[in-house]
Amino acid sequence: MQEYPSYKLNRIAEADQTDLITVIVACYNIETYIRRCVDSITVQTYKNLEILITDDGSTDSSGAICDELASKDPRIKVFHTDNHGLGLARDYAMDRASGTYITFVDGDDYIESRMYEEMMAAMKAFDTDIVVAGYEDVYESKDTKEKSLSLTGTKGSDEDYYLSDLALMNSENLLRALVEENEKYVVQNCAWNKLYKRSLVEEGDKLRFPEGHYEDIVYTTRLLNKVKSGVVICDKLYNYIIDRSGSIMNQGVKWDILTQQIPAYKARNKVLVDAGYTELAYIHQYMVYKKLLLLYTQVRRSKDPEKKAKMDALAEVIRGVKNNYAKVYSCRIADPHQELRMKLFLKNTMLYNSFMAVNDTFIIPVKVWVSNKL
């Protein structure tokens, strides 16, 4: 990995914006958000866009809003389909894309007006297959819903360059940043902070999203395994709504974590192993078991009527660590405190629950009190 602090990315004049970018938006019952989302795409400083919107069987006015927007901008095409879920809605548009490059925006989010010009500038500067941008978590409120696009920022618009910390990575570096959840160079599972050559998903082993939730986990891992090199930009160009009511990501600990997310993590692990990244696969398992313990504690703290059943199901999955315990907890990033928690859990779940209850009731409040006094 080669880091470039405060790197100047030359802006791209409209006459030189010759490469077509296909922007895919999946839309389902988000009438409050879809207009802002699409408007943030149409005002991009990079103009050569094909905007494909899949209205995935919306029952509110989302589809009609999309049609209205398409009538005002010839770059927009709208497809109306039956409700099949996010992954298949994206796939439907991907099969109809014609851009040299491809990217995604979730219909309830919005992007900075410079996003695609800055990402294309990085693509050209380093001749890479993919560019990954930073993102901002945005909490839903009346203010954010009504936020004017003029306030989304046009950093560098009066200059002939964009300025950002960035890093040039090969495929293994990108996968490592993804699995280890690098806090500076944020790769993430998501499809929406990435711009890449469409040939990556069309040539050879054709890449599409699987059906169901957590579809990004396997897709992104397979995608990064295909690239030769990529650039990760620290500049936050995507605005991610993290607390929208009704959002899949805002519904607590659901059963589909067991039925879909965990199988997706297992599938990712297989991709890593098959690609020869055995050490990285153990790091991935470590991160997964760390999350599972957190989920277990989250369920224990909840008033979920199915709490016991979910705790039992999660406990059964967590005990699977015994199969590779030594290699998982000797991986490069393993934390001794996490290993102690896992040892306690495997020894006696009741004892683990008691320990965590004491931690919640006494230890954490004391730490907070001490921190506030300092």
pLDDT of the chain along its 374 residues, tens only? 999 999 999 999 999 999 999 999 999 999 999 999 999 999 999 999 999 999 999 999 999 999 999 999 999 999 999 998 999 999 999 999 999 999 999 999 999 999 999 999 999 999 999 999 999 999 876 444 444 444 333 444 558 999 999 999 999 999 999 999 999 999 999 999 999 999 999 988 899 998 877 889 999 999 999 999 999 999 999 999 986 554 444 445 788 888 889 999 999 999 999 999 999 999 999 999 999 999 999 998 888 899 999 999 999 999 999 999 999 999 999 999 999 999 999 999 988 888 787 766 655 555 555 456 55
Residue 126 belongs to domain spanning: 2-250
Question: What is the pLDDT, as a whole number, of residue 274?
Answer: 96
- Note whether 120 and 232 are same-domain residues: yes
Question: What is the pLDDT, as a whole number, of residue 145?
Answer: 47
- Note whether 285 and 202 are same-domain residues: no
* Number of structural domains found in the chain: 2
- Note whether 32 and 72 are same-domain residues: yes
- Note whether 229 and 284 are same-domain residues: no
Question: What is the pLDDT, as a whole number, of residue 258?
Answer: 86
Query: Cα(153)–Cα(202) distance, rounded to whole angstroms?
Result: 34
Specify the residue for token string 């009066």.
158
Question: What is the pLDDT, as a whole number, of residue 252?
Answer: 56
State the CATH number of the domain containing residue 148: 3.90.550.10
Amino acid present at 240? Y
- Note whether 132 and 279 are same-domain residues: no
- Note whether 16 and 144 are same-domain residues: yes
Query: Cα(265)–Cα(221) distance, rounded to whole angstroms?
Result: 10
- Note whether 139 and 284 are same-domain residues: no
Q: What are phi and psi of 125, to 5 degrees?
A: -65, -35
- Note whether 62 and 170 are same-domain residues: yes
- Note whether 118 and 260 are same-domain residues: no
Residue among 213, 142, 128, 135 nearest 174 (CA): 128
Q: What are phi and psi of 220, to 5 degrees?
A: -65, -40
* pTM: predicted TM-score of the whole model, two decimal places: 0.88
Phi and psi based region of residue 32 (left: phi greater than 0; alpha: psi -120 to 50; beta: remaining): alpha
Specify the residue for token string 């495997």.
346
Question: What is the pLDDT, as a whole number, of residue 150?
Answer: 41
- Note whether 155 and 190 are same-domain residues: yes
